[in-house]
Amino acid sequence: SLKASIWTFLIYWLYESLEEQKIVPASVTVQPGHTLTISCTVSYSVSSYNTHWIRQPAGKGLER
């Protein structure tokens, strides 16, 4: 059915999206006033997908 096909596509897309995540190292601590430069390389067009940086300040929840 169309509904099942849509769910299959969404699950496949989510799985493929998660495969792109490469986090090295898992965390980085930066002291106030210091600069951290991070970079990201992906195998898809960033303008074609919602791609965001996610951070989690110490003691707080995830922020986009």
The pLDDT tens digits for 4-58 are: 555 554 555 555 555 555 556 667 777 888 888 877 777 777 777 777 777 877 7
Nearest CA-CA partner of 21 in 1, 2, 49, 47: 49
* Any domain includes 34: yes
Domain hosting 32: range is 2-48
DSSP reduced 3-state for 3:
helix
pTM above threshold 0.75: no
* Any domain includes 36: yes
* Any domain includes 61: no
* Any domain includes 60: no
Query: How many structural domains is the chain composed of?
Result: 1
| Tokens at 14, concatenated | 């989510």
* Any domain includes 62: no
Query: CA-to-CA distance for 55 and 64, rounded, in angstroms?
Result: 6
pLDDT, residue 32, reads: 82
pLDDT, residue 21, reads: 59
* Any domain includes 39: yes
